[in-house]
Amino acid sequence: MSFLQENRIKFFYEAVQHGSVRAAADFLNVAPSAVSRQISQLENELDTVLIERHRRGIKPTEAGEELLKYYKHYLIQQELLLDNLKSLQGLQSGTIELAIGEGFINIVSKAMCVFAEKYPDIKIVLSIHSGNDVLRKVVEDDAHVGVVFNPPQHPKIRTHYTAMHPMIIAVGKQHSLNNEATPITMSVLKKYPLALPDLAHGVRQLIEEVEKEENVTLTPNVISNNMTALHCYASHGGATIMPNFMLKSMPDWYTSLNSLPFDNQRLNNTGSAVFTRLGRQLGPGPSEFIKCLVALFKQELDNDTPAA
């Protein structure tokens, strides 16, 4: 940052992140004119245009994208330096950013408690997203660690651990599907009212792939981005699809619903992954948390099978 003022780049960065100069000004608690002035001075220093203004806000030019990459790399290296210095004092402080799918709240919460006992002064910031958004946050360095179901093949992620487990059909104790021969085929399932996650969810993406393979189309009556809503639908007489570990990890769900196995190899061998961005150097804090989380994955998710 020798010839560039970090503060000016920060104003530019926040304007792009928030989509407009006014939104960035609100976030930074300064006047919009101050943000515009800093960006203009930065453009003059670099002798290039960094942003394009549109009716709905701003977006970076190609030069702006390059500056964003530079600044993000700078922030990561700064964070790594501080983390390494703190590690010399025994992981006394620091922040870990986690992005996970909703289905992992229970197991990740356990890992956070175990980690907090050992490193009480390290702060963990947890955010819940769809599978697509978890991937995006990790790839764009907005999160150190991601946990997601059915992770897509992506050239920019490094998988630290994958736990294999089956998908199941979750239904109430009195549901008619309980009387069908098991394992349940997709052709049988399509006859019943069904609730499914939306297309941003890894569960739904996998189901769509299997539908194409089997030439069967499921027509859900309910679509939701919330797994609790899907569970409630099933507990009141409907049916839904979820990873078996998710049902088992929630005692109130597990006791109120039956889990029925699928007659499909892909759905019986699905995976959840702990991952980071390929090439990102992690500080001691995130690295230690990954070890803790992977150990819990091995303990609770490996050899997961539906209840008989």
The radius of gyration computed from the CA coordinates of the chain, to the nearest angstrom, equals: 23
For the structural domain made of 167-268, what CATH number should be given?
A: 3.40.190.290
Locate the domains of the chain by residue range: 6-69, 95-164+271-296, 167-268
Least-confidence region, from 35-39, 85-89, 241-245? 85-89
Share of the chain above pLDDT 70, in %: 93
Higher per-residue confidence, 92 vs 64:
64
- Nearest C-alpha neighbor of 207 from the set 133, 274, 149: 149
Amino acid at 156: K
CA diameter of the chain: 73
pLDDT surpassing 70 at residue 306: no
* Domain 95-164+271-296 shares a fold with domain 167-268: yes
pLDDT value of residue 101: 92
* Banded pLDDT at 2 (limits 50, 70, 90): very low
Q: What integer pLDDT is reported at residue 119 of this predicted model? A: 87
Mean of the per-residue pLDDT values of the chain:
88
Alpha helices, DSSP H only, in the chain?
A: 6-18, 21-28, 32-46, 62-87, 105-118, 131-139, 186-189, 202-214, 227-235, 244-249, 251-256, 284-300
Q: In whole angstroms, what is the distance from residue 265 CA to residue 166 CA? A: 9
The domain 95-164+271-296 is placed in CATH, from the list 1.10.3720.10, 3.30.450.80, 3.40.190.10, 3.40.50.20, at 3.40.190.10
| Rounded CA separation 160/289 (Å) | 12
Buried b (16+ CB within 10 A) or exposed e, 105-137: bebbebbbeebeeebeebebeeebbbbebbbeb
Q: How far apart are CA 99 and CA 133, in angstroms?
A: 8
Q: What is the pLDDT of residue 165?
A: 86
**Residue range 249-266: mean pLDDT, rounded:** 84
Question: Coil, helix or strand for 129?
Answer: coil
What pTM was computed for the model? 0.71
Residues 192, 121 contacting (CB under 8 angstroms): no
pLDDT at residue number 5: 77
| Domain 6-69 part of CATH 3.40.50.300 | no
